[in-house]
Structures are given as structure tokens and as C-alpha cells.
Amino acid sequence: MSTALTNAQKRYLRGLAHDLKPVILLGAKGVTPALIAELDLALEQHELIKAKVPAEDRETRDAWIADICEQSGAALVNRIGHTAVLYRRSKNKPLVILPKA
């Protein structure tokens, strides 16, 4: 269950994510339970993160990103090349205030 974002919210989040460095790096094994656990922790702490997905072909990369979003409940904000920007609102202490529109 991923968060549905409007275009205005995605644009706002892309602006916030511009200067971020990737905090999640996928390896050759792809999406593993350990990666999802680390991703959940990073999303709970930061809400907005970048993930580096170094898959060889586009189909594999897109499948891994979709799998990550599905398993973590995160929304895909943007994808450029091998880097995906993910957002999930924190349950304990929300940091990012999204625009209403």
C-alpha cells in the first residue's frame, strides 16, 4: 500500500530531495528482507530518501523499484537513471509537511 501523491506534492518533494545523497544502495542480490528492513528504518527516520538501484537493464531496475515501493509502502516520487526518490510519512514524528493540492 503506497502513498498516493499529487503532481504538486511530487514536485515539492523533488525539490526537497535535490541535495540528498542516496542512503540505500541495492546490491547484486536485488531486493532482500534485510534491504527492506533497512529501507523501513531509513523511511521512518527521514521520510524522504534516495535509493541507488544499479541494475543492468531498465526492466530489472523498474521491477526492483516497484518491489521496493510495494513492500515498504513508500511512494515513488521520481526516478532518474539508477536513482529513485522515495517518500513515506513517518508514523511517529512526521518531518515533511506536504502541500494540500
pLDDT in tens, 48-82: 999 999 988 899 999 999 999 999 999 999 999 99
Domain that holds residue 46: 7-87
Please report the pLDDT score of residue 97 as a whole number.
Answer: 87
Confidence of residue 1 (pLDDT cuts 50, 70, 90): very low
User: Residue 17 is which amino acid?
Assistant: A
Q: Domain holding 35: CATH number?
A: 3.30.110.60
Residue 97 falls within a domain, yes or no? no
Q: Is 89 left (phi over 0), alpha (psi -120 to 50) or beta?
A: beta
C-alpha cell at 77: 516520487
Mean pLDDT of the chain, nearest integer? 91
Please report the pLDDT score of residue 9 as a whole number.
Answer: 94
Q: How many domains does the chain have?
A: 1
